[in-house]
Amino acid sequence: MKEGFKQHSQINAQKKNSIVTCPQSPRNNMDGKCVQGEETFMDDLTTLDRKALLQQGYADNPYNSQQSARKFEAEIVATEKKKQTVAEQVMIDHLSRAVISDPEQNLTIEKQESAHILPDPKITPLRVRKRILHETKIRTHSTLTENVLSQKLQFDGRIISRNGRDACRELIGFFFTHDHSLTIYEYRQFGKNRTNVLPFIQKNVYCHQRGRRKGNQYQLGDFYIGANLTFLSSDHPSLPESMKENTLFILRITNIDQIALDSLKTTSVEHKDDGVHQEANDKLVLKAVQDVLKEKLHKKGVRILTGLGKYFKQLDKEGNGLLDMADFKQALKVFHLEVSEKDFESLWLTLNGSCNGKVDYGEFTRAIIGEMNEYRKSFVRKAFMKLDFNKTGSVPIIDIRKCYCAKKHPQVISGHSTEEEIKSSFLETLKDTCSKSDEVSYCEFEDYYEGLSMGIVDDEDFVNILRTPWGI
Protein backbone atom coordinates (compact mmCIF):
# COMPACT_ATOMS: atom_id res chain seq x y z
CA MET A 1 0.00 0.00 0.00
CA LYS A 2 2.83 2.36 0.82
CA GLU A 3 4.55 1.68 -2.52
CA GLY A 4 1.25 2.27 -4.29
CA PHE A 5 0.95 5.66 -2.67
CA LYS A 6 4.49 6.65 -3.63
CA GLN A 7 3.63 5.98 -7.26
CA HIS A 8 0.31 7.79 -6.99
CA SER A 9 1.61 11.26 -7.82
CA GLN A 10 3.55 9.93 -10.82
CA ILE A 11 0.43 8.18 -12.16
CA ASN A 12 -1.62 11.37 -11.90
CA ALA A 13 1.05 13.33 -13.74
CA GLN A 14 1.09 10.77 -16.56
CA LYS A 15 -2.69 10.90 -16.83
CA LYS A 16 -2.70 14.66 -17.29
CA ASN A 17 -0.24 14.34 -20.15
CA SER A 18 -1.93 11.39 -21.81
CA ILE A 19 -5.65 12.34 -21.61
CA VAL A 20 -7.17 12.65 -25.09
CA THR A 21 -8.95 15.95 -25.70
CA CYS A 22 -12.67 15.41 -25.30
CA PRO A 23 -15.60 17.66 -24.36
CA GLN A 24 -16.27 15.56 -21.21
CA SER A 25 -14.81 12.39 -19.80
CA PRO A 26 -17.04 9.35 -20.43
CA ARG A 27 -16.77 8.71 -16.67
CA ASN A 28 -18.25 12.12 -15.87
CA ASN A 29 -20.90 12.11 -18.55
CA MET A 30 -22.36 8.71 -19.24
CA ASP A 31 -24.65 10.13 -21.91
CA GLY A 32 -21.82 11.81 -23.84
CA LYS A 33 -19.70 9.89 -26.35
CA CYS A 34 -16.14 10.74 -27.24
CA VAL A 35 -15.48 8.15 -29.89
CA GLN A 36 -17.61 6.32 -32.41
CA GLY A 37 -16.91 2.88 -30.90
CA GLU A 38 -18.02 4.04 -27.44
CA GLU A 39 -21.35 5.23 -28.84
CA THR A 40 -22.17 1.79 -30.19
CA PHE A 41 -21.20 0.12 -26.92
CA MET A 42 -23.15 2.52 -24.70
CA ASP A 43 -26.36 1.68 -26.55
CA ASP A 44 -26.06 -1.85 -25.15
CA LEU A 45 -26.10 -0.62 -21.54
CA THR A 46 -29.19 -0.67 -19.33
CA THR A 47 -30.25 2.10 -16.95
CA LEU A 48 -28.77 0.08 -14.09
CA ASP A 49 -25.41 -0.10 -15.90
CA ARG A 50 -25.36 3.65 -16.47
CA LYS A 51 -26.13 4.40 -12.82
CA ALA A 52 -23.41 2.00 -11.65
CA LEU A 53 -20.88 3.59 -14.00
CA LEU A 54 -21.47 6.98 -12.36
CA GLN A 55 -19.28 5.70 -9.52
CA GLN A 56 -16.31 5.71 -11.87
CA GLY A 57 -16.45 9.50 -11.85
CA TYR A 58 -14.63 9.58 -8.50
CA ALA A 59 -11.51 8.27 -10.26
CA ASP A 60 -11.22 11.61 -12.11
CA ASN A 61 -11.13 13.54 -8.84
CA PRO A 62 -8.30 11.96 -6.82
CA TYR A 63 -7.66 12.57 -3.15
CA ASN A 64 -5.58 15.54 -2.04
CA SER A 65 -2.00 14.25 -1.94
CA GLN A 66 -1.17 15.81 1.46
CA GLN A 67 -4.35 14.40 3.00
CA SER A 68 -3.55 10.97 1.54
CA ALA A 69 0.01 11.12 2.82
CA ARG A 70 -1.10 11.84 6.38
CA LYS A 71 -3.67 9.04 6.32
CA PHE A 72 -1.21 6.53 4.89
CA GLU A 73 1.46 7.36 7.46
CA ALA A 74 -1.05 6.95 10.29
CA GLU A 75 -2.28 3.64 8.84
CA ILE A 76 1.27 2.33 8.45
CA VAL A 77 2.09 3.16 12.08
CA ALA A 78 -1.13 1.51 13.31
CA THR A 79 -0.55 -1.60 11.17
CA GLU A 80 3.05 -2.01 12.34
CA LYS A 81 1.96 -1.61 15.97
CA LYS A 82 -0.72 -4.26 15.47
CA LYS A 83 1.72 -6.72 13.88
CA GLN A 84 4.28 -6.14 16.62
CA THR A 85 1.64 -6.82 19.28
CA VAL A 86 0.69 -10.12 17.64
CA ALA A 87 4.33 -11.17 17.15
CA GLU A 88 5.08 -10.50 20.82
CA GLN A 89 2.07 -12.56 21.88
CA VAL A 90 3.23 -15.47 19.71
CA MET A 91 6.67 -15.43 21.32
CA ILE A 92 5.16 -15.25 24.81
CA ASP A 93 2.79 -18.14 24.14
CA HIS A 94 5.50 -20.47 22.84
CA LEU A 95 8.38 -19.50 25.14
CA SER A 96 6.43 -19.53 28.39
CA ARG A 97 5.40 -23.18 28.21
CA ALA A 98 6.70 -24.73 31.43
CA VAL A 99 9.54 -27.19 30.84
CA ILE A 100 8.42 -29.27 33.81
CA SER A 101 5.17 -30.08 31.96
CA ASP A 102 7.02 -31.37 28.90
CA PRO A 103 6.15 -35.05 28.21
CA GLU A 104 9.87 -35.78 27.93
CA GLN A 105 10.18 -35.33 31.70
CA ASN A 106 8.29 -38.59 32.13
CA LEU A 107 10.83 -40.66 30.16
CA THR A 108 12.60 -41.88 33.31
CA ILE A 109 9.36 -43.22 34.77
CA GLU A 110 8.39 -44.81 31.46
CA LYS A 111 11.79 -46.51 31.14
CA GLN A 112 11.55 -47.98 34.63
CA GLU A 113 8.01 -49.22 34.04
CA SER A 114 8.94 -50.77 30.68
CA ALA A 115 11.97 -52.49 32.23
CA HIS A 116 9.72 -53.94 34.99
CA ILE A 117 12.03 -52.68 37.72
CA LEU A 118 10.50 -53.45 41.09
CA PRO A 119 9.93 -50.29 43.11
CA ASP A 120 11.79 -49.83 46.37
CA PRO A 121 9.18 -50.07 49.16
CA LYS A 122 11.17 -47.57 51.22
CA ILE A 123 11.03 -44.88 48.45
CA THR A 124 7.90 -43.15 47.19
CA PRO A 125 7.30 -43.90 43.47
CA LEU A 126 8.33 -41.11 41.07
CA ARG A 127 4.84 -40.78 39.59
CA VAL A 128 3.50 -39.93 43.06
CA ARG A 129 6.46 -38.12 44.52
CA LYS A 130 6.72 -34.36 44.05
CA ARG A 131 9.42 -33.73 41.46
CA ILE A 132 12.30 -31.51 42.60
CA LEU A 133 14.76 -29.48 40.57
CA HIS A 134 17.61 -32.01 40.35
CA GLU A 135 15.19 -34.58 38.90
CA THR A 136 13.99 -32.21 36.18
CA LYS A 137 15.65 -31.41 32.87
CA ILE A 138 16.19 -27.69 32.53
CA ARG A 139 15.94 -27.99 28.77
CA THR A 140 14.28 -30.75 26.78
CA HIS A 141 14.64 -31.60 23.10
CA SER A 142 11.27 -30.07 22.25
CA THR A 143 11.93 -26.80 24.08
CA LEU A 144 11.57 -23.79 21.78
CA THR A 145 14.05 -20.92 22.00
CA GLU A 146 13.75 -17.32 20.88
CA ASN A 147 16.36 -17.95 18.18
CA VAL A 148 14.39 -20.88 16.74
CA LEU A 149 11.11 -18.97 16.75
CA SER A 150 12.71 -15.95 15.10
CA GLN A 151 13.17 -17.95 11.88
CA LYS A 152 9.61 -17.28 10.77
CA LEU A 153 7.58 -15.73 7.97
CA GLN A 154 4.77 -13.37 8.96
CA PHE A 155 1.69 -12.86 6.75
CA ASP A 156 -1.79 -11.35 6.84
CA GLY A 157 -4.84 -13.38 5.87
CA ARG A 158 -8.59 -13.28 5.40
CA ILE A 159 -11.18 -16.04 5.36
CA ILE A 160 -12.94 -16.64 2.06
CA SER A 161 -16.51 -16.78 3.25
CA ARG A 162 -19.97 -15.45 2.42
CA ASN A 163 -20.37 -14.71 6.13
CA GLY A 164 -19.37 -11.07 6.52
CA ARG A 165 -18.35 -11.42 10.14
CA ASP A 166 -15.85 -14.16 9.30
CA ALA A 167 -14.65 -12.52 6.09
CA CYS A 168 -13.66 -9.35 7.98
CA ARG A 169 -11.69 -11.02 10.77
CA GLU A 170 -8.16 -9.63 11.11
CA LEU A 171 -5.84 -12.64 10.95
CA ILE A 172 -2.05 -12.68 11.17
CA GLY A 173 -0.16 -15.92 10.54
CA PHE A 174 3.37 -17.23 11.08
CA PHE A 175 5.20 -20.00 9.23
CA PHE A 176 8.21 -21.43 11.10
CA THR A 177 10.97 -22.84 8.91
CA HIS A 178 12.63 -24.97 11.62
CA ASP A 179 9.80 -27.53 11.53
CA HIS A 180 7.49 -26.21 8.75
CA SER A 181 4.74 -25.56 11.27
CA LEU A 182 2.36 -22.61 11.16
CA THR A 183 0.02 -20.78 13.47
CA ILE A 184 -2.59 -18.08 12.93
CA TYR A 185 -3.70 -15.45 15.44
CA GLU A 186 -6.70 -13.14 15.42
CA TYR A 187 -6.29 -9.49 16.35
CA ARG A 188 -9.38 -7.97 17.93
CA GLN A 189 -9.85 -4.38 19.00
CA PHE A 190 -12.54 -3.14 21.38
CA GLY A 191 -12.83 0.63 21.33
CA LYS A 192 -9.64 2.71 21.14
CA ASN A 193 -7.51 1.23 23.90
CA ARG A 194 -8.53 -2.39 24.49
CA THR A 195 -7.13 -5.11 22.25
CA ASN A 196 -7.04 -8.88 22.36
CA VAL A 197 -4.77 -11.33 20.52
CA LEU A 198 -5.87 -14.97 20.53
CA PRO A 199 -4.75 -18.13 18.68
CA PHE A 200 -7.08 -18.89 15.78
CA ILE A 201 -5.15 -21.90 14.42
CA GLN A 202 -2.90 -23.71 16.90
CA LYS A 203 0.78 -24.13 16.06
CA ASN A 204 1.21 -27.41 14.21
CA VAL A 205 2.34 -28.95 10.93
CA TYR A 206 -0.49 -28.75 8.37
CA CYS A 207 -1.10 -30.07 4.86
CA HIS A 208 -3.04 -29.02 1.78
CA GLN A 209 -6.62 -30.27 2.11
CA ARG A 210 -7.68 -29.92 -1.51
CA GLY A 211 -6.34 -29.46 -5.02
CA ARG A 212 -3.46 -31.08 -6.85
CA ARG A 213 -1.26 -31.21 -3.74
CA LYS A 214 -3.81 -32.55 -1.29
CA GLY A 215 -2.00 -34.25 1.61
CA ASN A 216 1.32 -32.50 0.95
CA GLN A 217 2.84 -30.53 3.80
CA TYR A 218 2.97 -26.73 3.50
CA GLN A 219 6.34 -25.38 2.44
CA LEU A 220 7.84 -21.91 2.12
CA GLY A 221 6.92 -21.73 -1.57
CA ASP A 222 3.21 -21.97 -0.70
CA PHE A 223 3.26 -18.51 0.89
CA TYR A 224 2.72 -15.54 -1.42
CA ILE A 225 0.08 -12.83 -1.83
CA GLY A 226 -3.07 -14.42 -3.24
CA ALA A 227 -2.22 -17.97 -2.13
CA ASN A 228 -4.91 -20.10 -0.47
CA LEU A 229 -4.33 -22.19 2.66
CA THR A 230 -6.93 -24.89 3.34
CA PHE A 231 -7.75 -26.46 6.70
CA LEU A 232 -10.18 -29.08 7.99
CA SER A 233 -12.79 -27.49 10.25
CA SER A 234 -12.99 -30.67 12.36
CA ASP A 235 -9.32 -30.27 13.36
CA HIS A 236 -10.03 -26.94 15.07
CA PRO A 237 -12.82 -27.20 17.68
CA SER A 238 -12.35 -23.58 18.79
CA LEU A 239 -13.48 -22.18 15.43
CA PRO A 240 -16.67 -20.06 15.28
CA GLU A 241 -19.85 -22.07 14.72
CA SER A 242 -20.44 -20.37 11.36
CA MET A 243 -17.18 -21.86 10.07
CA LYS A 244 -17.76 -25.35 11.45
CA GLU A 245 -20.73 -25.74 9.10
CA ASN A 246 -18.32 -26.33 6.20
CA THR A 247 -15.90 -29.24 5.93
CA LEU A 248 -13.06 -26.95 4.83
CA PHE A 249 -12.24 -23.35 5.40
CA ILE A 250 -9.96 -21.37 3.10
CA LEU A 251 -7.55 -18.66 4.20
CA ARG A 252 -6.32 -16.20 1.53
CA ILE A 253 -2.93 -14.54 2.08
CA THR A 254 -3.43 -10.79 1.60
CA ASN A 255 -0.02 -9.45 2.57
CA ILE A 256 3.37 -10.90 3.42
CA ASP A 257 6.72 -9.88 4.88
CA GLN A 258 8.62 -9.89 1.58
CA ILE A 259 12.01 -9.12 3.15
CA ALA A 260 11.77 -12.10 5.50
CA LEU A 261 10.51 -14.30 2.65
CA ASP A 262 13.49 -13.44 0.42
CA SER A 263 15.88 -14.04 3.31
CA LEU A 264 14.39 -17.41 4.20
CA LYS A 265 14.37 -18.56 0.57
CA THR A 266 18.16 -18.19 0.38
CA THR A 267 18.68 -20.60 3.28
CA SER A 268 15.87 -23.12 2.78
CA VAL A 269 15.75 -26.08 0.41
CA GLU A 270 12.40 -26.66 -1.32
CA HIS A 271 11.32 -30.05 -2.64
CA LYS A 272 10.03 -29.94 -6.21
CA ASP A 273 6.45 -31.06 -6.54
CA ASP A 274 4.60 -32.13 -9.69
CA GLY A 275 1.47 -30.57 -8.25
CA VAL A 276 2.97 -27.09 -8.65
CA HIS A 277 3.26 -27.58 -12.41
CA GLN A 278 -0.28 -28.97 -12.60
CA GLU A 279 -1.65 -26.01 -10.64
CA ALA A 280 0.08 -23.63 -13.06
CA ASN A 281 -1.70 -25.39 -15.95
CA ASP A 282 -5.03 -25.10 -14.10
CA LYS A 283 -4.51 -21.34 -13.77
CA LEU A 284 -3.94 -21.10 -17.53
CA VAL A 285 -7.27 -22.87 -18.12
CA LEU A 286 -9.08 -20.40 -15.86
CA LYS A 287 -7.30 -17.45 -17.48
CA ALA A 288 -8.40 -18.59 -20.95
CA VAL A 289 -12.07 -18.74 -19.87
CA GLN A 290 -11.84 -15.36 -18.12
CA ASP A 291 -10.36 -13.74 -21.24
CA VAL A 292 -13.30 -14.98 -23.33
CA LEU A 293 -15.81 -13.35 -20.96
CA LYS A 294 -13.86 -10.17 -20.25
CA GLU A 295 -15.30 -8.22 -23.19
CA LYS A 296 -18.88 -9.24 -22.34
CA LEU A 297 -18.46 -8.02 -18.77
CA HIS A 298 -16.82 -4.69 -19.61
CA LYS A 299 -18.95 -1.85 -18.12
CA LYS A 300 -21.72 -4.36 -17.31
CA GLY A 301 -19.90 -6.16 -14.51
CA VAL A 302 -22.03 -4.82 -11.64
CA ARG A 303 -25.34 -5.94 -13.16
CA ILE A 304 -24.09 -9.34 -14.33
CA LEU A 305 -21.98 -10.28 -11.30
CA THR A 306 -24.57 -9.27 -8.71
CA GLY A 307 -27.31 -10.83 -10.82
CA LEU A 308 -25.41 -14.11 -10.88
CA GLY A 309 -25.11 -14.03 -7.10
CA LYS A 310 -28.87 -13.59 -6.62
CA TYR A 311 -29.62 -16.25 -9.24
CA PHE A 312 -27.35 -18.80 -7.57
CA LYS A 313 -28.98 -18.13 -4.18
CA GLN A 314 -32.38 -18.89 -5.69
CA LEU A 315 -31.11 -22.18 -7.11
CA ASP A 316 -29.47 -23.15 -3.81
CA LYS A 317 -32.50 -24.78 -2.18
CA GLU A 318 -30.43 -26.59 0.45
CA GLY A 319 -28.60 -23.43 1.50
CA ASN A 320 -25.17 -25.08 1.55
CA GLY A 321 -23.67 -22.98 -1.25
CA LEU A 322 -23.21 -25.96 -3.61
CA LEU A 323 -24.70 -26.42 -7.10
CA ASP A 324 -24.23 -29.03 -9.84
CA MET A 325 -23.04 -28.72 -13.42
CA ALA A 326 -26.51 -28.30 -14.96
CA ASP A 327 -27.26 -25.33 -12.66
CA PHE A 328 -24.08 -23.53 -13.67
CA LYS A 329 -24.66 -24.13 -17.38
CA GLN A 330 -28.18 -22.79 -17.06
CA ALA A 331 -26.97 -19.67 -15.20
CA LEU A 332 -24.35 -18.91 -17.85
CA LYS A 333 -26.99 -19.25 -20.54
CA VAL A 334 -29.43 -16.92 -18.74
CA PHE A 335 -26.77 -14.20 -18.42
CA HIS A 336 -25.39 -14.72 -21.96
CA LEU A 337 -21.99 -15.85 -20.70
CA GLU A 338 -21.74 -19.01 -22.76
CA VAL A 339 -18.34 -20.63 -23.10
CA SER A 340 -17.40 -23.54 -25.35
CA GLU A 341 -18.15 -27.05 -24.13
CA LYS A 342 -14.45 -27.86 -24.14
CA ASP A 343 -13.56 -24.86 -21.94
CA PHE A 344 -16.41 -25.61 -19.56
CA GLU A 345 -15.32 -29.26 -19.19
CA SER A 346 -11.75 -28.14 -18.42
CA LEU A 347 -13.04 -25.61 -15.91
CA TRP A 348 -15.27 -28.18 -14.22
CA LEU A 349 -12.46 -30.73 -13.89
CA THR A 350 -10.32 -28.06 -12.25
CA LEU A 351 -12.97 -27.00 -9.74
CA ASN A 352 -14.57 -30.37 -8.95
CA GLY A 353 -11.58 -31.67 -7.00
CA SER A 354 -13.69 -33.69 -4.58
CA CYS A 355 -15.48 -35.39 -7.52
CA ASN A 356 -18.84 -35.17 -5.73
CA GLY A 357 -20.54 -33.49 -8.70
CA LYS A 358 -21.11 -30.17 -6.90
CA VAL A 359 -19.09 -26.96 -6.61
CA ASP A 360 -19.38 -23.89 -4.38
CA TYR A 361 -20.97 -21.18 -6.53
CA GLY A 362 -18.84 -18.43 -4.98
CA GLU A 363 -15.74 -20.33 -6.06
CA PHE A 364 -17.24 -20.95 -9.50
CA THR A 365 -17.93 -17.23 -9.99
CA ARG A 366 -14.37 -16.29 -8.99
CA ALA A 367 -12.96 -18.93 -11.34
CA ILE A 368 -14.98 -18.08 -14.44
CA ILE A 369 -15.03 -14.28 -14.08
CA GLY A 370 -11.88 -13.63 -12.07
CA GLU A 371 -11.54 -11.35 -9.07
CA MET A 372 -9.83 -8.10 -8.17
CA ASN A 373 -6.42 -8.20 -6.53
CA GLU A 374 -5.90 -8.14 -2.77
CA TYR A 375 -4.83 -4.49 -2.79
CA ARG A 376 -8.25 -3.47 -4.11
CA LYS A 377 -10.08 -5.89 -1.84
CA SER A 378 -8.35 -4.43 1.22
CA PHE A 379 -10.10 -1.10 0.56
CA VAL A 380 -13.46 -2.80 -0.01
CA ARG A 381 -13.11 -4.51 3.38
CA LYS A 382 -11.97 -1.26 4.99
CA ALA A 383 -15.06 0.56 3.68
CA PHE A 384 -17.40 -2.19 4.86
CA MET A 385 -15.78 -2.44 8.30
CA LYS A 386 -16.25 1.31 8.72
CA LEU A 387 -19.97 0.83 8.04
CA ASP A 388 -20.31 -2.41 10.03
CA PHE A 389 -18.95 -1.06 13.32
CA ASN A 390 -20.88 -3.72 15.29
CA LYS A 391 -19.26 -6.51 13.22
CA THR A 392 -22.53 -8.25 12.43
CA GLY A 393 -21.68 -9.02 8.77
CA SER A 394 -24.45 -6.83 7.31
CA VAL A 395 -25.26 -3.11 7.20
CA PRO A 396 -28.70 -1.44 7.16
CA ILE A 397 -29.40 0.62 4.02
CA ILE A 398 -30.25 3.59 6.22
CA ASP A 399 -26.69 3.58 7.65
CA ILE A 400 -25.20 3.41 4.17
CA ARG A 401 -27.28 6.42 3.12
CA LYS A 402 -25.97 8.37 6.14
CA CYS A 403 -22.31 7.51 5.53
CA TYR A 404 -22.16 7.85 1.73
CA CYS A 405 -20.89 11.32 0.70
CA ALA A 406 -21.29 12.55 -2.89
CA LYS A 407 -19.91 16.09 -2.39
CA LYS A 408 -16.72 15.39 -4.32
CA HIS A 409 -18.32 13.66 -7.29
CA PRO A 410 -17.27 15.53 -10.49
CA GLN A 411 -20.88 15.92 -11.66
CA VAL A 412 -21.81 17.50 -8.32
CA ILE A 413 -18.81 19.84 -8.48
CA SER A 414 -19.65 20.85 -12.06
CA GLY A 415 -23.32 21.36 -11.20
CA HIS A 416 -24.67 18.73 -13.62
CA SER A 417 -26.11 16.67 -10.73
CA THR A 418 -27.01 17.12 -7.09
CA GLU A 419 -25.61 15.15 -4.18
CA GLU A 420 -28.98 13.48 -3.67
CA GLU A 421 -29.13 12.33 -7.31
CA ILE A 422 -25.68 10.69 -7.14
CA LYS A 423 -26.46 9.12 -3.76
CA SER A 424 -29.83 7.81 -4.99
CA SER A 425 -28.27 6.28 -8.12
CA PHE A 426 -25.72 4.48 -5.96
CA LEU A 427 -28.31 3.17 -3.51
CA GLU A 428 -30.61 2.00 -6.32
CA THR A 429 -27.89 -0.08 -7.95
CA LEU A 430 -26.70 -1.42 -4.60
CA LYS A 431 -30.23 -2.39 -3.52
CA ASP A 432 -30.66 -4.29 -6.77
CA THR A 433 -27.86 -6.62 -5.68
CA CYS A 434 -29.42 -7.41 -2.28
CA SER A 435 -31.64 -10.30 -1.28
CA LYS A 436 -33.11 -8.12 1.51
CA SER A 437 -34.47 -4.66 0.76
CA ASP A 438 -33.36 -3.04 4.02
CA GLU A 439 -29.78 -4.31 4.48
CA VAL A 440 -26.61 -5.19 2.58
CA SER A 441 -24.41 -8.18 3.45
CA TYR A 442 -20.64 -8.14 3.06
CA CYS A 443 -20.87 -10.62 0.19
CA GLU A 444 -23.27 -8.36 -1.72
CA PHE A 445 -21.19 -5.26 -0.99
CA GLU A 446 -18.07 -7.01 -2.30
CA ASP A 447 -19.89 -8.29 -5.40
CA TYR A 448 -20.98 -4.74 -6.25
CA TYR A 449 -17.41 -3.42 -6.19
CA GLU A 450 -16.10 -6.59 -7.82
CA GLY A 451 -18.30 -5.83 -10.81
CA LEU A 452 -17.29 -2.16 -10.81
CA SER A 453 -13.63 -3.15 -10.68
CA MET A 454 -13.85 -4.96 -14.03
CA GLY A 455 -14.06 -1.71 -15.97
CA ILE A 456 -11.16 0.00 -14.15
CA VAL A 457 -7.61 -0.76 -15.20
CA ASP A 458 -5.62 1.32 -12.73
CA ASP A 459 -5.56 0.26 -9.05
CA GLU A 460 -5.35 3.84 -7.78
CA ASP A 461 -8.42 4.83 -9.80
CA PHE A 462 -10.37 2.06 -8.13
CA VAL A 463 -9.07 3.02 -4.70
CA ASN A 464 -10.23 6.62 -5.24
CA ILE A 465 -13.73 5.33 -6.03
CA LEU A 466 -13.81 3.88 -2.50
CA ARG A 467 -11.82 6.54 -0.65
CA THR A 468 -13.78 9.57 -1.80
CA PRO A 469 -17.39 8.71 -0.94
CA TRP A 470 -16.55 6.64 2.18
CA GLY A 471 -13.78 8.83 3.59
CA ILE A 472 -11.29 6.01 4.15
317/231 same-domain check: no
Indicate the residue among 81, 112, 135 that finishes a domain: 135
The pLDDT-based confidence of 124 (bands split at 50, 70, 90) is low
What's the whole-number average pLDDT of the chain?
79
pLDDT for 231 equals 94
399/437 same-domain check: yes
262/287 same-domain check: no
Q: What is the mean pLDDT of residues 50-64?
A: 79
41 in a domain, yes or no? yes
285/329 same-domain check: yes
Distance CA 99, CA 391 (A): 40
Residues 422 and 406 sit within 8 Å (Cβ to Cβ) = yes
How many domains does one find in the chain?
4
**442-453 and 301-315 are packed helices; what angle lies between their axes, rounded to 10 degrees?**
140
140 in a domain, yes or no? no
Characterise 225 by phi-psi region: left (phi > 0), alpha (psi -120 to 50), beta (else). beta
Distance CA 86, CA 63 (A): 32
For 306-361, the pLDDT digits (tens) are 888 888 888 888 877 888 888 888 888 888 887 888 888 888 888 876 667 788 88
DSSP per-residue string spanning 120-160: PTTS--TTTSPP-GGGS-SS-TT---HHHHHSEEEEEEEE-
**65-95 and 8-18 are packed helices; what angle lies between their axes, rounded to 10 degrees?**
150
| Helices of type H across 268-371 | 274-297, 301-315, 325-334, 341-351, 361-369
Residues 143 and 103 sit within 8 Å (Cβ to Cβ) = no
Backbone angles phi, psi at 173, to 5 degrees: -115, 165
CATH number of the domain residue 389 falls in: 1.10.238.10
88 in a domain, yes or no? no
254/152 same-domain check: yes
Mapping DSSP to helix (H, G, I), strand (E, B) and coil, where does residue 63 land? coil
Rg (alpha carbons) of the chain, rounded to whole number: 27
242/175 same-domain check: yes
202 in a domain, yes or no? yes
Identify which has the larger pLDDT, 27 or 64. Answer: 64
For 90-102, the pLDDT digits (tens) are 988 888 766 656 6
22 in a domain, yes or no? yes
376/320 same-domain check: no
Residue from 251, 457, 453, 294 nearest 372 by CA? 453
264/160 same-domain check: yes
173/128 same-domain check: no
Q: How many CA atoms are closer than 13 Å to the CA of 433, on its beta-carbon side?
A: 28
- Cα angle for residues 39, 42, 44 (degrees, 5° grid): 125
Distance CA 76, CA 58 (A): 24
- Cα angle for residues 377, 381, 384 (degrees, 5° grid): 140
192 in a domain, yes or no? yes
418/347 same-domain check: no
**374-387 and 459-470 are packed helices; what angle lies between their axes, rounded to 10 degrees?**
10
Judge whether residue 177 has pLDDT over 60: yes
| pTM score, whole prediction | 0.75
DSSP state of 443: H
Identify which has the larger pLDDT, 199 or 352. Answer: 199
Question: Strands 439-441 and 181-190, how do they pair?
Answer: unpaired
150/266 same-domain check: yes
Structural domain including 151 reads 146-271
CATH number of the domain residue 364 falls in: 1.10.238
DSSP per-residue string spanning 398-442: HHHHHH---TT-HHHHHTSS-HHHHHHHHHHHHHTT-SSSSEEEH
Characterise 155 by phi-psi region: left (phi > 0), alpha (psi -120 to 50), beta (else). beta
Backbone angles phi, psi at 393, to 5 degrees: 95, -5
For 30-49, the pLDDT digits (tens) are 343 333 333 333 346 788 88
DSSP per-residue string spanning 275-291: HHHHHHHHHHHHHHHHH
150/251 same-domain check: yes
77 in a domain, yes or no? no
